[in-house]
A and B are shown apart, each in its own frame.
Chain A
Amino acid sequence: TQLLEQSPQFLSIQEGENLTVYCNSSSVFSSLQWYRQEPGEGPVLLVTVVTGGEVKKLKRLTFQFGDARKDSSLHITAAQPGDTGLYLCAGAENNAGNMLTFGGGTRLMVKP
Chain B
Amino acid sequence: NAGVMQNPRHLVRRRGQEARLRCSPMKGHSHVYWYRQLPEEGLKFMVYLQKENIIDESGMPKERFSAEFPKEGPSILRIQQVVRGDSAAYFCASSPLRFSGETQYFGPGTRLLVL
* Chain B CB within 8 A of A99 CB: yes
Cα distance, A70 to B18, chains bound together (Å): 40
**A97-B55 CB under 8 A given contacts A41-B109, A102-B44, A104-B42:** yes
**A48-B42 CB under 8 A given contacts A97-B58, A98-B48, A99-B48:** no
Q: Is there contact, CB below 8 Å, between A97 and B42? A: no
Q: Is there contact, CB below 8 Å, between A43 and B91? A: yes
CB distance from B32 to the nearest CB of A (A): 10
* Chain B CB within 8 A of A74 CB: no
Q: Is there contact, CB below 8 Å, between A50 and B101? A: yes
1/0 contact trace for A36-53 toward B, CB 8 Å?
000011111100101000
Interface residues of B in 1-45 (CB under 8 A from A): 4, 6, 31, 33, 35, 40-45
Q: Is there contact, CB below 8 Å, between B43 and A98? A: no
Q: Is there contact, CB below 8 Å, between A42 and B99? A: no
* Chain A CB within 8 A of B108 CB: yes
Q: Is there contact, CB below 8 Å, between B42 and A103? A: yes
* Chain B CB within 8 A of A88 CB: yes
Q: Inside 8 A of A50's CB, which chain B residues have their CB? A: 101
**A99-B45 CB under 8 A given contacts A43-B91, A43-B106, A92-B100:** yes
Q: Per a CB cutoff under 8 Å, which of A43, A99, A103 touches B56?
A: A99
A-B contact pairs, 25 of them (CB 8 A): A4-B42, A6-B42, A31-B101, A35-B106, A40-B108, A42-B4, A42-B6, A42-B108, A43-B106, A45-B103, A45-B104, A48-B101, A50-B101, A94-B100, A97-B56, A98-B33, A98-B99, A99-B45, A99-B48, A99-B59, A100-B35, A102-B35, A102-B43, A104-B42, A105-B41
Closest 9 CB pairs of A and B: A102-B42, A99-B45, A42-B106, A31-B101, A98-B99, A97-B56, A102-B43, A98-B48, A104-B42
